[in-house]
A = this chain, B = another copy of it.
Amino acid sequence: MELIESPEVQRLRRIRQLGVGHMVFPGAEHSRFGHALGAMALMRQALVTLRAKGTDISDDEEAAALAAALLHDIGHGPFSHTLEHTLIAGFTHELMSRELIVLLRNQLGHPLDVALQIFDSAYPRPFFNSLVSSQLDMDRLDYLRRDTYYTGVAEGAVGTDRIIRNLRVFPALDDDGPEQLVVDEKGLHAVENFLAARRLMYWQVYLHKAVVAGDRLLRAAIQRARDIGVKMGSPVLLFFLENEITTDRLDERAVIDNYIRLDDSDILYSLKRWTTSADPILADLALRFVHRIFPRVTYLDDQPADGMRAELISRTSAALNIDQDSAGYYVAVDRVDHSAYESNSNSIRVVNTKGRVTELSEMAGVPSVGALNSFETRWYVAVPKEIEIEDLV
A residues near B (Cβ < 8 Å) are: 5, 7, 10, 13-14, 16, 22-23, 26-27, 29-31, 33-34, 37, 153-155, 157-162, 189-190, 192-193, 196-197, 200, 203-204, 234-236, 261, 263-266, 268-269, 272-273, 290-292, 301, 364-365, 367-368, 370-372, 374, 376, 378
Contact = CB atoms under 8 A, between A and B. Distances in A.
B365 A368 contact: no
A200 B264 CA distance: 33
A216 to B, nearest CB: 19
Given A13-B22, A301-B364, A158 B162 contact: no
Contacts of A264: 265
Contacts of A10: 290-292
Contacts of A371: 367-368, 370-371
A190 B155 contact: yes
A225 to B, nearest CB: 16
B23 A13 contact: yes
This protein's copies in its complex: 4
A326 to B, nearest CB: 23
Nearest to A261: B272
A321 to B, nearest CB: 23
Contact of A200 (B34, B189, B268): B189
A289 to B, nearest CB: 10
A273 B367 CA distance: 46
B30 A27 contact: yes
Contact of A269 (B192, B203, B269): B269
Contacts of A37: 26
Contact of A266 (B200, B269, B290, B368): B269
B29 A34 contact: yes
Contacts of A200: 189, 192-193
Contacts of A155: 157, 159, 189-190, 193
B290 A7 contact: yes
A190 B200 CA distance: 8
A183 to B, nearest CB: 14
A234 B269 CA distance: 8
Contacts of A153: 159
Contact of A158 (B154, B203, B378): B154
Nearest to A369: B371
Nearest to A22: B13
Cβ-closest 6 pairs across A and B: A154-B159, A265-B268, A157-B157, A371-B371, A367-B371, A368-B368
Nearest to A195: B368
A9 B302 CA distance: 38
A236 B232 CA distance: 14
